[in-house]
Amino acid sequence: MAHLLMSSGVSFEIRASDGSARFASLVTPRGEVTTPAFMPVGTRAAVKAMAPDELRGMGYRLILANAYHLALRPGAAIVQDMGGLARFMGFEGAVLTDSGGFQAMSLAQINSINAHGITFRSHLDGSPLILTPETAIEIQHGLGADIIMALDECTPYPANYERARSSLELTARWAERSLAAHSSGDQALFGIVQGSVYPDLRQRSAMQITSLGFEGFAVGGLSVGEPKQAMRDIAALSATLLPADKPRYLMGVGTPQDLLAAIAMGYDLFDCVLPTRNARNGSAFTSEGQISIKRAVYRRDSQPLDPRCDCRPCRQFTRAYLRHLYLSGEILAARALSEHNLFFYAGLMREAQAAIASQTYQAFSTYLLNLLDGSSKDASTLEN
């Protein structure tokens, strides 16, 4: 199986494969991460409603934080003085930081972009923050994450062909500058492929980014409003364009169904706010599909959220009680639903790893998709 020791000291070894799906080991200075792996989103150095030891207890060894938000508050220098992000937040595991490129799109109303970089007006107090490829790397060096991302421009959807082309060219130039600025010997730097929903632009971007000396590669600019099938088609194409011996990270995806499809494409790492955001909106992922605990049908329901789940909320609480907590505005509702959803996602990854290792991934995925899609209690999915 492929084994790669990166210059940062991070190593990546593919232990088993089943079709394009890979079961691998990503070893970081703060421990091993087995993949496929889902990263809970801790944008501001905290996964909403969850304590770090709870995340570790579920099996999470890698979480995501955001350089833009942490540069504003508390500041990279403070985090560095506190021993880096993992120690600052009390997480016994590895951390990946996004560069802030996504905020170029999500906070478009308070920033401007040119060849030099992104000029933000802080969403906190309006003060300026200039994020360039060089400063994004400097901030992430200070934060001390194990895996850091090159600054990119996350292409919005919809974007016409010329807009998407100019965006990926800017991302390519910023990728070269990010690499030139990267001097930390114990942080792995990943590059990001853009190109919107245009296959030839994705091919062009992948050729540009993979020709550079990155230690892993991400596919960005998906799950930003494009049709579901377009997202899956572009994700599938992009996976074939990335080196087989390096980690592949599909950014911002997604639902359990999307994760199962992306694992089959050959992706290793994922992140998304869905488990915690949907929890705060009263929605739970279960082995029988997604349910909205707000519905009146659960008012006298004595079952756990998911009869097949062994998480603490499912062992302790009924659907009726969780509905009461949610409708009463109790913080415990968000805590319990977030814990359940993250437990569900962690279990999904473990089961996927086992299925790949035993060469049964297709059967496993088909079976689970039939459960998730065929028995879904609530068809609607909240925003991601």
Full pLDDT tens readout for the chain, 384 residues: 655 656 677 999 999 999 999 999 999 999 999 999 999 999 999 999 999 999 999 999 999 999 999 999 999 999 999 999 999 999 999 999 999 999 989 988 889 999 999 999 988 999 989 999 999 999 999 999 999 999 999 999 999 999 999 999 999 999 999 999 998 889 999 999 999 999 999 999 999 999 999 999 999 999 999 999 999 999 999 999 999 999 999 999 999 999 999 999 999 999 999 999 999 999 999 998 999 999 999 999 999 999 999 999 999 999 999 999 999 999 999 999 999 999 999 999 999 999 999 999 999 999 999 999 865 445 333 333
Lookup result for tokens 């707000």 = 294
Closest of 379, 384, 343 to residue 50, by C-alpha: 343
**CA distances from residue 192 to 19, 33, 138, 189 in whole angstroms, order as listed:** 24, 21, 18, 10
Asked if residues 306 and 322 have their Cβ atoms less than 8 Å apart, the reply is: no
Rounded CA-CA distance 326/334 in Å is: 8
What is the CA 165 to chain-centroid distance, rounded? Answer: 25
Catalytic residues: 98, 271
Closest of 67, 64, 61, 33 to residue 46, by C-alpha: 64
Which strands form 11-18's sheet, in the order they lie side by side?
Answer: 3-5, 11-18, 21-28, 31-35
* DSSP state letter for 123: T
Domain boundaries, the chain: 3-272, 278-374
Tokens representing 281 are 């909106």
Look at domain 3-272 and name its CATH class.
alpha beta
Q: Which residues contact residue 250 at a Cβ distance below 8 angstroms, ignoring those fewer than 6 apart?
A: 218, 219, 222, 235, 239, 262, 267, 269, 270
**CA distances from residue 345 to 11, 24, 351 in whole angstroms, order as listed:** 24, 18, 10
pTM higher than the cut 0.85: yes
